[in-house]
Amino acid sequence: MARLPRLYFPGCAQHVIQRGNNREACFYSEADYKAYLYFLMDAASKYQVVIHAFVLMTNHVHLLVTPSDEHGVSRLMQAQGRKYVQYFNFTHRRTGTLWEGRYKSTLVDADNYLLAVYRYIELNPVRAGMVSHASEYPWSSYQSNAIGKPIQLLTPHPLYLRLGETDPQRQSAYRSLFQGTMPEQDTTAIRDATNKGWALGDERFKAQIEAKTGRRATQRGRGGDRKSAAFRENKNQ
């Protein structure tokens, strides 16, 4: 089956996942994490992609980005991935591929899901049982967005900036988002949309994306609702 073209809409944020081949480790040392972020910042500047949030896990990476043009994200991931693989293979005396095929991505409805995606990304180490709180993990944007550590790579999204009038106010409001557990329905929606390449948002957002891109933004039902009387009646005809 032919792959659907990636969804893109100018100025719309995207959630991106890049996984290690066969779920193998992509980072062995502190130097590896630093190298990945350096190559990412270089490629983001070159291809005019702003990065709002990230987490570097042992065997995969999550990014929240906004590209300036249609090819920005794909060029970013290709350039960064290529340079990091060269570095990684040379440093660890290995050969072959490192990444698992194409990266996964979804367009994000900022009004309904943007801050949820921020939270989803930075809570990855907590869900994986690596730390008890996002603040304990050093390789994520939580260190900047919530605590204020300078990370040159990051550019705040306009919605993040609305959390307060000053940096301390925004950071305090952002930390409050991490109180309690993340709703399972949000976690599932973000995971499914990203892995399947559909738009992440409400029905109005999805309809707008479909109208602008000419591509389906959500999965169509297969055969109708099996619990409905209409479906049962059609099945028996």
CATH at residue 88: 3.30.70.1290
Per-residue pLDDT tens digits for 34-50: 999 999 999 999 999 99
Whether the per-residue pLDDT at 228 is higher than 60: the answer is no
- The answer to whether the pTM exceeds 0.75 is yes
Is 96 a member of any domain? yes
Residue identified by tokens 């293979």 is 89
Domain extent for 207? 14-235
User: 98-132 burial, b for 16+ CB within 10 Å, e for fewer?
Assistant: bbbeebbbbbbbbeebbbbbbbbbbbbbbeeeeee
Task: Work out the average pLDDT over 57-70.
Answer: 95
Q: 89 is written with which tokens? A: 């293979």
Is 141 a member of any domain? yes
Is 1 a member of any domain? no
Determine the Cα–Cα distance for residues 21 and 99; give it in Å rounded to an integer. 5
Say how many Å lie between the first and final Cα of the chain, rounded. Answer: 30
Is 9 a member of any domain? no
Beta bridge partners of 54: 63
Q: List strands edge to edge, sheet with 14-19.
A: 49-56, 60-67, 14-19, 104-107
Per-residue pLDDT tens digits for 89-113: 999 999 999 999 889 999 999 999 9
Tell me how many domains the chain contains. 1
Determine the Cα–Cα distance for residues 204 and 33; give it in Å rounded to an integer. 39
HEC string of 7-52 equals CCCCCCCEEEEEEEHHHCCCCCCHHHHHHHHHHHHHHHHHCCEEEE
